[in-house]
Every structure is written in structure tokens, then in C-alpha cells.
Amino acid sequence: MPSTGYLLAVLAIVFTITLALRALPFAVLGRLRGSAAVRRLAVWMPVGILAILAATALYGTIAEDPGTTAYALMAVAVTAGVHLACGRRTILSVGIGTALYVVLVNTR
């Protein structure tokens, strides 16, 4: 078992590296905030991340149980509809879509 001093040193190093890696993008972003590329990324990056997440989740769901494909597609449609109808509130739309999917799968 390593000594307490060794463990505290490792924790201090891990904390410092983690803090630096998380703070670095914000430090760089401050200088680039006026950039056209950063403005475009701010618009398209969330959409891209959600699209990749949705594709991965749908693939996993459909591959695991092909019988739930229709339910998954209905939940996606409801999620998109709620998102557009309720002022683009991501948490609300994803929550309702997820709840619908869970209810549909568990009541078949």
C-alpha cells in the first residue's frame, strides 16, 4: 500500500492537470470570441453533438431489439416536435421523448 504522502502527491498532480485542461479552452476562447469560426462552431457544434448521440443511441437500440424500431422513431419525432414547439428547450424535449420511449417499450 502506498504511503499517504504519495497518494496526496498523486491527487495534487491529477487535480492540477485536470484543472489546467478544463481551464485552457476558456482561456483561449476569450481571445477568439470575435472570430467567425467560433461563432459558427457555437451554432453548429451542439446540433452535431446531439445528432451523433441520437444516431449512436438509435443504432444501439435498434441493433439490440429490432422490434422497438417504430417506438424509437416515434420518440425521435416527438422529441423533435416538442423541441420546435416549446422554444427549443433541450432538456424538456429530450425528457419527454425519453419518457415516451420508455412507456412504449414497457407497455408492448
Provide the pLDDT for residue 95: 95
Instruction: List, for the chain, all residue ranges whose pLDDT scores fall below the cut of 50.
Output: none
> Has residue 38 been placed in a domain?
no
Structural domain count of the chain: 2
> Has residue 58 been placed in a domain?
yes
pTM comes to 0.59
| Same-domain pairing of 6 and 28 | yes
**Under the phi-then-psi rule, with left for phi > 0, alpha for psi from -120 to 50, and beta for the rest, what region is 87?**
left
| Same-domain pairing of 25 and 61 | no
What are the pLDDT digits (tens) for 43-53?
899 889 988 98
